[in-house]
Amino acid sequence: MRVALANVWHALDGVLISDLKEKHLLFWFYNEIYIDRVVEGIVDFPSWLVSKLMSKQFKNFIGEFFAHDMKS
């Protein structure tokens, strides 16, 4: 999975992906535009995977996390 994601984002020179531990990855985005694309894309999860309400709540949480992290 990491290799597939890296191939997509590295083509855009937009992210560094690091393994933290089993099943945990750290994404370092080089530009805020890429973060926005990821956060906006969270709402587009397939309906069989998560409900729209859950995906919107997840998007809001991630957005707040990114906003807080960028202030530090």
Q: Looking at 1-72, list the stretches that DSSP marks H as alpha helix, in order from N- to C-terminal side.
A: 2-10, 32-42, 52-71
Give the pLDDT score at 2.
60
Distances (CA, A) of 56 to 17, 26, 32, 64: 25, 22, 20, 12
Centre a 10 Å sphere on the Cβ of residue 45 and count the other Cβ atoms it contains. 15
Give the pLDDT score at 30.
74
Note down pLDDT in tens along the chain; length 72 residues.
Answer: 566 666 655 555 667 777 788 777 777 777 777 777 766 665 555 666 666 677 677 777 777 766 666 655
Give the pLDDT score at 5.
63
Cα separation, 41 vs 34, in Å, equals 11
Q: The pTM is what?
A: 0.38
